[in-house]
Amino acid sequence: QVQLGESGGGLVQAGGSLRLSCAASGRTSSRYTMGWFRQAPGKEREFVVAITWSGITYYAGSVKGRFTISRDNAKNTVSLQMNSLKPEDTAVYYCAARNQFTGSSSARSYDYWGQGTQVTVSS
Angstrom distance (rounded) from CA 120 to CA 20: 13
pLDDT tens digits, 66-114: 999 999 999 999 999 999 999 999 999 999 999 998 999 999 999 999 9
Q: What is the pLDDT of residue 29?
A: 65
Q: What is the pLDDT of residue 68?
A: 98
Question: Where in the chain does DSSP place strands (E)?
Answer: 2-7, 10-13, 18-26, 33-39, 46-51, 57-59, 67-72, 77-82, 91-98, 112-113, 117-122
pLDDT tens digits, 32-70: 999 999 999 999 999 999 999 999 999 999 999 999 999
Answer yes or no: are the C-beta atoms of 78 and 22 closer than 8 Å: yes
Answer yes or no: are the C-beta atoms of 1 and 97 closer than 8 Å: no
